[in-house]
Structure 1
Amino acid sequence: MKNRALVAMGIPAGPCAEEAKRVIAEAHAAGSTVRAAGDTLQSIIASPDAYLDDARYGVLASHLKAHQVAAKAFTPRQSVAPYRIWGEHLEPDSVRQLQNACSLPVAVAGALMPDAHVGYGLPIGGVLATEHAVIPYAVGVDIACRMKMTVLDLPVEALETQRERLVSVLERETCFGIGGGFRVKRQHEVMDADWRVTPVTADLKDRAWKQLGSSGSGNHFVEFGTLSVSDDAVGLPRGTYLALLSHSGSRGSGAAVAAHYSTLARRLHPELPQSLAELAWLDLDTEAGQEYWEAMELMGRYAAANHALIHQYIARALNVEVRLDVENHHNFAWRETHQRPDGTEREVIVHRKGATPAGEGVVGIIPGSMATPGYVVRGKGSTASLLSAAHGAGRRMSRTQARKTLSWQDAQALLRERQVTLLSAGLDEVPMVYKDIDEVMAAQQDLVEVLARFDPRLVKMAPSGEPPED
């Protein structure tokens, strides 16, 4: 039985769930049915005291009893931490997730971006400031997922006149898919870092090296397109350029770090009710908190290295210079100083899960979809949004719904209309699954200003059927 099914029964993740699985396995081996085992579990959940001395069920009863005692000790904030919402008609469940996060004892303030949708713990598009605590699921599973754009010294006309060459380079110098990696390891100084900073990262170095420079799956992509610069502040004169844009994160290594420390956080906070369990935190004064922070920082450098190599190898294969380089993280936590309502300042931990840093003057990238524009933006430094903005268009339908209701025929017709060549992707990533990027941008005019517009032309993503890593 999976953790989700056990949680639905009332058995929390961690020691309780592991012991319940052992009990079910023993019952199955003894010839008991799943239904009978489930009935027994329900009985233990209802009255753990009655099973404390039972040779078969005593350990599970003890774990459940301890969890129930701890849960009664939970004291939420007297009032929800202040938060602001940008955008209209957001999913009620995503709003509820932010409200839950702002009810945590460690919460200081929150914000919800106009691309928001439901995630684990904190919603995608959620921003949360906490007091000396980090929440693994408020950072996200794909730690340090990021955007990177380089403007290449090629004429825009190359998208037509050298199309086959550009396609060939994209196919040869990128790698997508769960577990995907290069046969010949690529080299970057991040692999010279001390991966023994935590026991978890120490065991991940070989996997990370194999996947170094690759892109993963889900909404991750590498694409050529045109960049129309409308403000010289972007670093180039106004005009239209050929650009390379990529989106991906820390691959399997980041996912392993997230899985380990989110599980650990839940075990350290059995007092949290089920609605808040995925928001369990790690105190930064503890060994666990320091370990996660070190691992997260390393995953940030690793994700940046992946992008650096993608852009380096493609530029080298094309034998061209890079004229502009812009990049930014999302799915990360930062130590920042923010003002209290009374005007005084304090250090907080700002989690941006699917949100772009948008401090005053900070340049970042907010993509659309494979057939809609993305934007290079400059932050306006809004304190109400915790110096944050949206990280993309945001999904308007689930992957399951997309596969059930959409067709490749309609998607390809739209791609042709927008002059986009799609090399590979899943049906659950076609443009129709995303919100209108221009509506998202209009909803956050007080957070960022647009410096340039990117329009995709040649797009590569993980092939259809790959499980998502985003």
Structure 2
Amino acid sequence: MKEQETKSTWQLLEVANGKPIKLWTEGVPVENEARTQLMNTAKMPFIFKHLAVMPDVHLGKGSTIGSVIPTVGAIIPAAVGVDIGCGMIAARTSLTASDLPDNLAGLRSAIEKAVPHGRTVTRGGRDKGSWQDVPQQADNAWGALAPRFKAITDKYPKLSKTNNRQHLGTLGGGNHFVEVCLDEANRVWFMLHSGSRGVGNAIGNLFIHMAQDDMRQHIANLPDRDLAYFEEGSEHFDDYVEAVGWAQDFARQNRELMMQAVIKATRQVITKPFEVALEAVNCHHNYVQKERHFGEDVLITRKGAVSAKKGELGIIPGSMGAKSFIVRGLGNEEAFSSCSHGAGRTMSRTQAKKQFTVEDQIRATAHVECRKDADVIDEIPMAYKDIDQVMHAQRELVEVLHTLRQVVCVKG
């Protein structure tokens, strides 16, 4: 074991009064604030073995994004976050680059019409990112989710007043996107990134505040109030596990519905018949679930990390304008069989908007049919880490199957 560790690519960070931290960040910058946050999490008494840190690590709420947090007997709602079940779906088609129209604006427009995206806040008006009339497919999917949702809202009625049914099959904003990509053989892929939308956000926030309320007497002893937790066996622990599991299922279904809508929209633009899902992946990167590691059953919270069990397929997107990867897990147990969920930000959205201009955005995305306006500057490729360095740092965690480059990108 010792011999294997000396050859390993992770770096060890010992934490006084806490569990060690193993970082797969060779050649990738890690901000000091993120290190402090990791050390705070490592001091929680229920951490199992060690924290595993992915190369896209950066500052988050309570815990860093890009970390794998194994726990026994407790769960930290803020570590899971408010975009519960956020993740990626990708599918390879039988189309090739030569089947795409010379001008891709029509394809982007068709996808934008088919998938509600973005957000408008109006008094009493409809949010443009939700359905006005929920389509039949989304309603059928909601029918399967509704009974469990009712069980949750019976206990927490506040959650029924959320965007739930009308958000199923919609993209959202921020870094959520739909892309048409080409792989190394010029084959066309569809790929998108989204989570559990308004209802997942409401569930996350409700339980984060509930954990803080439950720990009111102890909150001052925590390294960060966002590390408030539920202990196994407590009433709210079981309720949270039930709600978070439901939100993760909503997120997976949300991505499936959008993928179907993207395929349908493309068929309206490209009349040549084509097959889809020749290779397909649907994976979460903000979630918690029970898993077996080092011979024990533990709760694994992946906050901006993807499961990478041996042979398991995953998706690691770069920023808009950079490449993305379809990967196969190597089942590295030291990393709790995980990998990064993307490139990871190097600066905040506010900082990116201050530092870069629309002209910078136009240059950086010259090869992509996408929005190039002031509202998407925070997603500029330069606000993210170098995806090649990120992939090199996790070469013991995954192997690359396909390298994708975007040709169309729809942002929320």
**Alignment TM class, shorter chain as reference:** 0.7 to 0.9
Q: CA RMSD in A?
A: 1.9
Deviation (angstroms), 1:124: 0.5
Return the alpha-carbon distance in structure 1 between the equivalents of residues 357 and 103 of structure 2.
Answer: 30
1:263 aligns with 2:209: yes
Q: Given the alignment, which residue of 17, 20, 23 partners 1:82? A: 20
Shift >4 Å, 4+ stretches: none
Return the alpha-carbon distance in structure 2 between the equivalents of residues 448 and 139 of structure 1.
Answer: 23
Superposed CA deviations along residues 309-349 of structure 1, whole A, max 9, x for unmatched, are 1111121233343133212101100101111xxxxx21110
Q: Which structure 2 segments of 5+ residues have no match?
A: 1-14, 120-126, 268-273
- Partner residue of 1:116? 57
Q: Is the 8 A contact 1:395 1:434 kept in 2?
A: yes
Superposed CA deviations along residues 264-320 of structure 1, whole A, max 9, x for unmatched, are 111112313353321111123122111111111111111111111111112123334
Q: TM-score, normalised by structure 1?
A: 0.75
Q: Given the alignment, which residue of 248, 270, 278 partners 2:194? A: 248
- Partner residue of 1:212? 168
Q: Given the alignment, which residue of 104, 110, 116 partners 1:175? A: 116
Tell me the amino acid that sits aligned with residue 105 of structure 1: P
1:126 aligns with 2:67: yes
1:371 aligns with 2:371: no
Q: Is the 8 A contact 1:114 1:125 kept in 2?
A: yes
Return the alpha-carbon distance in structure 1 between the equivalents of residues 64 and 371 of structure 2.
Answer: 30
- Partner residue of 1:227? 183
Could you say what secondary structure the match of 2:334 adopts? coil
Could you say what secondary structure the match of 2:399 adopts? strand
Return the alpha-carbon distance in structure 2 between the equivalents of residues 160 and 96 of structure 1.
Answer: 49
- Partner residue of 1:61? none
User: Which one has a bigger Cα radius of gyration?
Assistant: 1
Return the alpha-carbon distance in structure 1 between the equivalents of residues 355 and 37 of structure 2.
Answer: 27
- Bigger RCO of structures 1 and 2 (CA < 8 A, at least 6 apart): 2
Deviation (angstroms), 1:215: 0.8
1:146 aligns with 2:102: no
Return the alpha-carbon distance in structure 1 between the equivalents of residues 16 and 388 of structure 2.
Answer: 38
Deviation (angstroms), 1:259: 0.6
Q: Is the 8 A contact 1:197 1:291 kept in 2?
A: no
Return the alpha-carbon distance in structure 1 between the equivalents of residues 250 and 75 of structure 2.
Answer: 20
1:248-397 equivalence runs, <5 A: 248-270=194-216, 271-272=218-219, 273=221, 275-319=223-267, 320-322=274-276, 323-339=278-294, 345-397=295-347
Further displaced range: 373-382 or 177-186: 177-186
- Partner residue of 2:159? 203
Could you say what secondary structure the match of 1:275 adopts? coil
Return the alpha-carbon distance in structure 1 between the equivalents of residues 206 and 110 of structure 2.
Answer: 37
Could you say what secondary structure the match of 1:143 adopts? coil
Could you say what secondary structure the match of 1:317 adopts? helix
Return the alpha-carbon distance in structure 2 between the equivalents of residues 170 and 280 of structure 1.
Answer: 41
Q: Given the alignment, which residue of 36, 40, 45 partners 1:96? A: 36
CA, structure 1 residues 404+294, in 2 after alignment: closer, same or farther (shift >3 Å)? same
Question: What is the number of residues matched between the two proteins?
Answer: 369
Deviation (angstroms), 1:190: 4.0
Q: Which structure 1 segments of 5+ residues have no match?
A: 1-76, 229-238, 340-344, 463-470
Tell me the amino acid that sits aligned with residue 441 of structure 1: M
- Partner residue of 2:11? none
Return the alpha-carbon distance in structure 1 between the equivalents of residues 329 and 233 of structure 2.
Answer: 32
Return the alpha-carbon distance in structure 1 between the equivalents of residues 30 and 16 of structure 2.
Answer: 26
Could you say what secondary structure the match of 2:365 adopts? helix
Return the alpha-carbon distance in structure 1 between the equivalents of residues 103 and 262 of structure 2.
Answer: 14
Return the alpha-carbon distance in structure 2 between the equivalents of residues 152 and 449 of structure 1.
Answer: 22
CA, structure 1 residues 414+318, in 2 after alignment: closer, same or farther (shift >3 Å)? closer
Return the alpha-carbon distance in structure 1 between the equivalents of residues 157 and 76 of structure 2.
Answer: 18
- Partner residue of 1:25? none
Return the alpha-carbon distance in structure 2 between the equivalents of residues 104 and 164 of structure 1.
Answer: 50
Return the alpha-carbon distance in structure 1 between the equivalents of residues 202 and 303 of structure 2.
Answer: 17
CA, structure 1 residues 407+201, in 2 after alignment: closer, same or farther (shift >3 Å)? farther
